Structure 1
Amino acid sequence: MKLTILGCSGSIPGPDSPSSGYLLESGDTRIALDLGNGTLGAMQRFIDPFSLDAVFFSHLHPDHCADFGALAVLRRYHPNRPGGRLPVIAPANAPQRFAALYAPDAEELAVTDLSDVFEFVQVSAEPVRIGPFEVRATPVAHLCESWGFRVEAEGKVLAYTGDTGPCPQLTDLAADVDVLLSEASWEDSPDAPDGVHLSGRQAAEVAKSAGAQRLLLTHVVPWANGDAILAEAEAVYDGPAELVVADGSYEI
């Protein structure tokens, strides 16, 4: 299983990276986890977006889903677009939210139905199989409905937290995984709001308690100190840990 970082900037695109988006490949099957601002452009450096087999959305904040609008244009209007519908596994209100993102005004929104090119599937705890991938979703703590994903293929397991504050579900999500791809938005601070994001220390505590073999930190906001976030994670977690970078690839 191969992980490619399409974007890893938290909350907004940064000077060196689009917002959150991650490409997973196993054999000839390709899935994306989130498509934040700028990630569709980055994807084209690695694959033909028409070769995607599914997209999973952890939640519907723009830094995780804004490029769905661009994907809709591509799949509707490219002169050589293939047939068929792309599975989109996302929170329940995604069809309406994504239609509003795509439609420029209320009149067009009233008649916009994206089901001609997308097959919307409501994310739930039921596992989803896409080729060799089995994806299990776990609800996590954030400002809106938000899910973490546990992805298994080729005998390897990756857990992706999406956006979350500390919560007990994260330990189950990341239990004994080969890689924990965890948000670590900011440095640890008693003034950080509860139930929004993880610090580097908190991400490391999840990795340690869950027995994750490797920790990859992502979603660092552009105004935070990434080196300090990594340092506080390394002070807690004994395994290999690193900050991911845009366009980076990792074999799992």
Structure 2
Amino acid sequence: MQITVLGCHSPFPAQDGATPGYLVTTKSEKKVLIDCGSGVLAQLIKYIPPYKLDMVVLSHLHHDHIADFFVLQYAIMFAIKQGLRTKPLEVYAPSEPHDWAKKLSYHDYIRVHELNEKTSISIDEYTKIRTYRTKHSIPCFALEFNDFKHTILYGADSGYQTAWDEMKMNPDIFLCEATYLQADMPLESMDHLTTLQAGEIANQLHAKQLVVTHLYPFYDRNQLLTEVMSIYKGECSLAQTGLQLRLS
């Protein structure tokens, strides 16, 4: 498997960047887009035309994770009309908030399936996706990609009280959000993590490699990395647009 970071910022893109979006390529070359935030489509086109996507999985329906999906609808429509694609795009997403969930369908070009705690998706004969509910203000799901040899765990948006112990231990790559530096964590915030908390959770999961993502664009990257590495002692990096990680 390979994962390409298309966007890693929140709640808005950095210069020349994008909010959350990640392209997973399986052993059989299936292409799965995780989340589709602001600016993600322009980054995706650097690697593949949008009509070559096999699947989109939206972890939750907050704007920074779905803004470009509504432009992707047009890309799929034009591809089908031009004969570049013959099938609707398969999309998995939570059914709430309902007002946003109902906007995901687009004529016969998009086929939407509900994403919930019981979802298990077979991408191909090698690769499956399992979901885990996270602690967030709306239904949100961490995603585990497993090809029977390697595991990529995407934590999505998640509070510290998420049931991390229910997730697979020893993921090869753990993409974990760190919305705040520890000093900036709002007292009332229960649905996002700090860099220190990301390191703690990576330790708890025995993650082999931690990639910290969902980064505030104006934070100093050295400060973010220093803080997370003060507690996590494994291989660690900050996500950035264009970062590619391959498991072979």
TM-score, length-scaled by structure 2 = 0.91
What amino acid does structure 2 have at the position aligned with 1:159?
Answer: L
Does the 8 A contact of 2:225 with 2:238 survive in 1?
Answer: yes
Alignment size in residue pairs? 241
**Which residue number corresponds to residue 224 of structure 2?**
229
**Which residue number corresponds to residue 89 of structure 2?**
86
**Which residue number corresponds to residue 243 of structure 2?**
248
Does the 8 A contact of 2:173 with 2:209 survive in 1?
Answer: yes
Unaligned runs of 5+ in 2: none
Structure 2 Cα separation of the partners of residues 125 and 100 of structure 1:
22
Structure 1 Cα separation of the partners of residues 162 and 42 of structure 2:
35
**Which residue number corresponds to residue 215 of structure 1?**
210
Does the 8 A contact of 2:185 with 2:194 survive in 1?
Answer: no
**Which residue number corresponds to residue 123 of structure 1?**
115
**Which residue number corresponds to residue 61 of structure 2?**
60
RMSD of aligned Cα (Å): 1.9
Structure 2 Cα separation of the partners of residues 116 and 191 of structure 1:
43
Per the TM alignment, residue 202 of structure 1 is displaced from its structure 2 partner at its CA by: 0.3
Structure 1 Cα separation of the partners of residues 65 and 162 of structure 2:
23
Structure 2 Cα separation of the partners of residues 9 and 230 of structure 1:
15
Runs of 4+ in 1 over 6 A off after TM superposition: none
Per the TM alignment, residue 173 of structure 1 is displaced from its structure 2 partner at its CA by: 2.5
Does the 8 A contact of 2:133 with 2:139 survive in 1?
Answer: yes
Unaligned runs of 5+ in 1: 102-112
Structure 2 Cα separation of the partners of residues 116 and 129 of structure 1:
22
Against the structure 1 CA distance between its residues 50 and 76, is the aligned structure 2 distance closer, same or farther, given a 3 Å change threshold?
Answer: same
Per the TM alignment, residue 94 of structure 1 is displaced from its structure 2 partner at its CA by: 7.2
**Which residue number corresponds to residue 110 of structure 1?**
none
**Which residue number corresponds to residue 161 of structure 1?**
155
What amino acid does structure 2 have at the position aligned with 1:233?
Answer: V
Structure 1 Cα separation of the partners of residues 184 and 239 of structure 2:
25
Structure 1 Cα separation of the partners of residues 75 and 184 of structure 2:
44
**Which residue number corresponds to residue 3 of structure 1?**
3
Against the structure 1 CA distance between its residues 198 and 174, is the aligned structure 2 distance closer, same or farther, given a 3 Å change threshold?
Answer: farther
For residues 41-190 of structure 1, the aligned pairs below 5 Å read 41-78=42-79, 79-93=82-96, 96-97=99-100, 100=103, 114-126=106-118, 127-131=120-124, 132-153=126-147, 155-189=149-183
Structure 1 Cα separation of the partners of residues 244 and 43 of structure 2:
13
* Range with greater deviation from structure 2 (128-137 or 71-80): 71-80
Structure 2 Cα separation of the partners of residues 166 and 11 of structure 1:
19
Does the 8 A contact of 1:171 with 1:206 survive in 2?
Answer: no
**Secondary structure of 2:77 counterpart:** helix
Structure 2 Cα separation of the partners of residues 205 and 121 of structure 1:
33
TM-score, length-scaled by structure 1 = 0.89
What amino acid does structure 2 have at the position aligned with 1:75?
Answer: I
Does the 8 A contact of 2:50 with 2:76 survive in 1?
Answer: no
Per the TM alignment, residue 133 of structure 1 is displaced from its structure 2 partner at its CA by: 2.1
Q: What does the per-residue CA deviation read over 1:77-111, in whole Å, with 9 as the maximum and x for residues that have no partner?
A: 2434412111111001478526548xxxxxxxxxx
Against the structure 1 CA distance between its residues 247 and 191, is the aligned structure 2 distance closer, same or farther, given a 3 Å change threshold?
Answer: closer
What amino acid does structure 1 have at the position aligned with 2:58?
Answer: F
